[in-house]
Amino acid sequence: MSFLKIRDLSVILRGTNHRLLRGVSLDVGATEVMGLVGESGAGKSMIGKAVLGILPRSAKIVGGSIELDGVDLLKLPPRQRRHLIGQKAALIPQDPLTALNPARRIGPQIGDRLVDILGWEKARARARTEEILHDVHIPQPDRVLRAYPHELSGGMRQRVLIASAFAAEPRLIVADEPTTALDVTVQKQILKLIFEMQARHGTALLFVTHDLGVVSKICQRLTVLYGGLVMEEAEVGAFFEAPQHPYSRALLAATPRHTDPTADLTPVPEAVIALAQRAVADADLRWHS
């Protein structure tokens, strides 16, 4: 039984006919880690944003359904939708430097949802906040609670954001390229932390990334996107043994292997891109008719 069930989701650029997502269908199981991969502009972030209801104003959902725990989000009035998302899902954002409010202390930024959305007692929320900061290996949680974001390093802030995401025990977490903005040295630790937290809490995780190497390590299944269209959806093991779609194969060939970083990388061949674009054009043709 999948926790997140997306069917035929279409998103257009507002005011145009141009589709950013072309009928995407996707399932994420209750404790599953799903990797969402593709080149930039493939629409992978767009899916995460659509699920969390934070699409930019320029994007507009024009069809399909997003079921979260059996409830179609797109059929709910905005207020209820937001409330439901706040209760059941959370985001680990891309850039820890901009994702914390500079004018608010860390503690309330983690604990506010527990009190306001989940209706916890203040004291309980505070205790939980301290506990979760401890869980993400932040030294002196009580001091960090009272700090402002600018007093913390980038890695620390990303830990805070991970803590904030897991604090309310959400059933689904969307991680939107959570390490791209970080130093290479910190990236590994943060990835490890996300995976550790996911394993401990048994949360479903939608992991948006362009890095197939990362996917091979922490995901169980993955979805490959091109031009807002699903190219292939597979188990991670099977995918890395034998990717089915030519575009997936090309993407894999273009990814550096951690086992052999010196091996030559092949850029995605033009013939394969033409093939992918053909699929996109076909999808548009069916949609417009």
In the complex, the residues that contact other proteins under the rule CB under 8 A are 14-15, 52-54, 57, 79, 82-87, 89-91, 93-95, 98-104, 112-113, 116-117, 148, 150-151, 161
Q: Which is nearer to other proteins, 103 or 271 (CB)?
A: 103
The least distance separating other proteins from the CB of residue 90, rounded to whole angstroms, comes to 7
Q: How far is the CB of 118 from other proteins (least distance, A)?
A: 9
What's the closest the beta carbon of residue 192 comes to other proteins, in angstroms?
A: 23
Distance (Å, whole) CA 3 – CA 215: 20
- Cα 121 to chain centroid distance, Å, stands at 30
Q: DSSP per residue over 37-87, as a string?
A: E-STTSSHHHHHHHHHT---TTEEEEEEEEEETTEEGGGS-HHHHHHHHHH
Nearer to other proteins by Cβ, of 82 and 249: the residue is: 82
Residue 119 to residue 214: CA distance in whole angstroms: 36
Smallest separation (angstroms) from other proteins to the CB of 91? 4
Give the nearest distance from C-beta 97 to other proteins in angstroms: 9
Residue 223 beta carbon to other proteins: minimum distance, rounded to whole angstroms: 21
Tokens 């991670």, residue located: 236
Residue among 160 and 250 whose Cβ is closer to other proteins: 160
Element (H, E) at 13: strand 2-13
Q: Burial of 238 by CB count in 10 Å (0-12 exposed, 13-18 middle, 19+ buried)?
A: exposed
Judged by CB, which is closer to other proteins: 79, or 288? 79
Instruction: Between 86 and 269, name the residue whose CB sits nearer to other proteins.
Output: 86
Residue identified by tokens 């937290």 is 197
| Smaller CB separation from other proteins, 83 or 137 | 83
Burial 109-135, CB ≥16 within 10 A → b, else e = bbbebbeeeeebeeeebbebbbebbeb
